[in-house]
Amino acid sequence: MTMHQLTIHEAHELLKAKQLSSVELTKASLGRIHQVEPEVRALVTITDELALKQAQKADELIAAGDISPLTGIPVLIKDNMCTKGTKTTCSSKMLENFVPPYNATVVEKLNACSVVIIGKANMDEFAMGSSTENSALFTTHNPWDLSRVPGGSSGGSAAAVAASETIYALGSDTGGSIRQPAGFCSVTGLKPTYGRVSRYGLVAFASSLDQIGPLTQDVTDCALVLNAIAGYDPRDSTSVPYPTPDYTQCLTANIKGLHIGVPKEYFVEGMQTEVATAMRAAINKLEELGATIDWEVSLPHTPYALAVYYIIAPSEASANLARYDGVKYGYSCQDADSMWEAMEKTRQHGFGAEVKRRIMLGTYALSAGYYDAYYLKAQKVRTLIRQEFDQAFEKFDALVTPTSPTVPFKIGERVDDPLQMYLSDVCTLPINIAGVPAISIPAGFANGLPIGMQIIGKPFSEETILKIAHAYQQATDWHKKKPEI
């Protein structure tokens, strides 16, 4: 075990016992970044100077006996969360040189724990994508097989945790963007309940679906990070004013008597046999651990989730991205004769192909004559999907599904077929539509490629899914495997 491979809780014990300093740990992570980054390409910005300053400060605090579970431990932030004084690009040409004048709430909360920010993670442009291939800067490679995608949109965050370039990372999840890359890179990734974590300072993609969450090496770390970032924020009126529990208290490894359902619609046509097999084995393990499994749960509106998502998310995106007009910040095309021409050219050259596609799709769905048939219809089917989850959770404590129907695909394999690309999120999209929490944890490999298991909970029952995920990790060691890189 080398220093950069430590979990948060392991590093914390060493820091507390003064057997390790934050500067040493930070240098180990930065060294690892410089070693593997030419191949993995997970980071848009490496903030080494800032990191070492923060590490020195953390060491001073620790020497004075002031230590929190995250103090002095390196973290990587997805590049759609505002970091004051550090570029926040959204992996877009539009924001390539944007330096935010303020911090996102989650960044403020981490800073209050005296963390060490080592950089900003690559992503699909404006978080629209499933592979990081839509990044306008470069594509991130999967550390388990460099010819394959790491998933997306938080692909940089997931790949960096898998390759031990950072101890943990933050990602954002609108339709699977934390969980799908967590599954593809064999790390632990949680999308909290909508409203659990403040979205203030998160560059908006689809405001009714976006949520920030941790990508970590295990469930204990995930609970520690959630403790730090969860909670009400008056600056985000959709964050909920509910008390936040200590999420480490539920990690007991005892899941006896819990009722878990397996919705059959998630074992979709086109699912790889290896994924289905691994999933059955993982669910059998949960049964062995004392959970009661019902294999015959049905959520019949699941097949409509893809269409609902790809109407609602682009509609919200088309409204959110209207702000990029070349006037206040971001890329601005000056080579134009009029205000309208300048705006159209700014958006033409500042946005990449997928962002344009979604703006067009969303604008169409919201336009006169089509609003009722597309946007309103999708919102109504959204209600049906939510109700199905509500009904299922009257009977079950949690639902378990694969995170993605396939193992990571090859770079380039799906770029020319947007629908094929959208299908890689078919198991994760319904969760954002319903607003419920879900976690992806490592659940096996097929020919050396990771397979993720998704555990879904009731609204604000993060404790239940963390508990199940933790129990599984206590009984298995998939999450401890590291890629050879």
Partner 1 sequence: MKLSREEVLHIALLARLGLTETEVARLGEQLSNILENFEALQQVDTEDIPPTAQSIALQNVTKDDEVTASLPPSQILANAPKKEKNFFRVRAVLE
Q: Point out the residues that are catalytic.
A: 78, 153, 177
DSSP state, residue 373: I
- Pairwise CA distance, residues 162 & 143, whole Å: 7
Closest CA to 312 of 433, 179, 131: 433
Q: Is 87 in the site for partner 1 (CB under 8 A)?
A: no
Closer CB to partner 1, 32 or 301, in the complex: 301
Contact 213, 191 (CB under 8 A): yes
> Applying CB under 8 A, which part among 48-56, 187-195, 244-252, 275-283 lies near partner 1?
187-195
Answer yes or no whether residue 367 interacts with partner 1 by CB under 8 A: yes
Site for partner 1 contains 330 (CB under 8 A): yes
Two tokens at 250? 């539920």
Minimum distance, C-beta of residue 232 to partner 1, in the bound complex (Å) = 11
Q: Decide whether 84 or 482 has the Cβ nearer to partner 1.
A: 84
Cα dist from 207 to 53, 195, 379, 432, 464, whole Å: 34, 11, 14, 11, 26
Q: With binding defined as CB under 8 A, does residue 348 bind partner 1? A: yes
Q: Least distance to partner 1 from the beta carbon of 314, Å?
A: 10
19 or 334: whose CB is closer to partner 1?
334
Q: Which stretch binds partner 1 (CB under 8 A): 172-180, 212-220, 430-438, 450-458?
A: 430-438
The angle at the Cα of 261, spanning 257 to 262, to the nearest 5 degrees, equals 140
Q: For the chain, percent helix, then strand, then coil, each to nearest 5?
A: 45, 15, 40
Stretch that binds partner 1, among 146-154, 223-231, 288-296, 336-344 (CB under 8 A): 336-344
Q: Check binding of 345 to partner 1 (CB under 8 A).
A: yes
**Number of residues written out for the chain:** 485
SS3 for 290-325, per residue?
A: CCEEEEEECCCCHHHHHHHHHHHHHHHHHHHHHHCC
Residues 306, 268 contacting (CB under 8 angstroms): no
* 485: contact with partner 1 by CB under 8 A: no
Should residue 380 be labelled a site residue for partner 1 when binding is judged by CB under 8 A?
Answer: yes
Q: Is 383 in the site for partner 1 (CB under 8 A)?
A: yes
Q: Which of 9, 57, 264, 356 binds partner 1 (CB under 8 A)?
A: 356
Indicate if the alpha-carbon torsion angle 163, 169, 174, 179 is positive or negative: positive
CB atoms within 10 A of CB 63: 11
Pick 353 or 475: Cβ nearer partner 1: 353
- Judged by CB under 8 A, the stretch of 340-348, 406-414, 442-450, 467-475 that binds partner 1 is 340-348
Choices 165-173, 253-261, 275-283, 355-363 (CB under 8 A): range interacting with partner 1? 355-363
**Contact call for residue 457 and partner 1 (CB under 8 A):** no
344 forms part of the interface with partner 1 (CB under 8 A): yes
Q: From CA 405, how far away is CA 420, in angstroms rounded? A: 12
Residue 364 binding partner 1, by CB under 8 A = yes
- Taking the complex as a whole, the smallest distance from the CB of residue 234 to partner 1 amounts, in Å, to 7
| Torsions phi, psi for 407 (to 5 deg) | -80, 170
8 Å CB contact between 363 and 318: yes
- Nearest approach in angstroms of CB 301 to partner 1 is 7
Q: Which of 53, 112, 147, 234 binds partner 1 (CB under 8 A)?
A: 234
Give the interface size with partner 1 as a residue count (CB under 8 A).
69
* Residue range at the interface with partner 1 (CB under 8 A); choices 137-145, 271-279, 357-365, 397-405: 357-365
| Cβ atoms 207, 242 nearer than 8 A | no
Q: Is 14 in the site for partner 1 (CB under 8 A)?
A: no
DSSP conformation class of 85: T
Return the ∠ at Cα 172 (arms to 426 and 42), rounded to 5°: 95
Subset of residues 108 to 167 that bind partner 1, contact rule: CB under 8 A = none
Of 270, 335, 419, 477, the one binding partner 1 by CB under 8 A: 419
Tell me, residue by residue from 256 to 285, as one string, x for binding to partner 1 by CB under 8 A and - for no binding. Answer: ------------------------------
Question: Least distance in Å: CB of 428 to partner 1?
Answer: 15
Q: Is the peptide bond before 153 cis (omega within 30 degrees of 0)?
A: yes
Segment (H or E) for 400: strand 398-402
- The verdict on 386 binding partner 1 (CB under 8 A) reads yes
Helix, strand or coil, per DSSP, at residue 365: helix
Interaction of residue 418 with partner 1, rule CB under 8 A = yes
Helical H runs in 270-408? 273-288, 305-320, 339-350, 353-366, 377-395
Binding site for partner 1 (CB under 8 A): 97-99, 101-102, 193-195, 208, 234, 237-238, 240, 301, 303-304, 307-308, 310-311, 318, 322, 325-330, 332, 334, 338-345, 347-349, 351, 356-357, 359-361, 363-364, 367, 373-374, 376-384, 386, 418-419, 433-436, 459
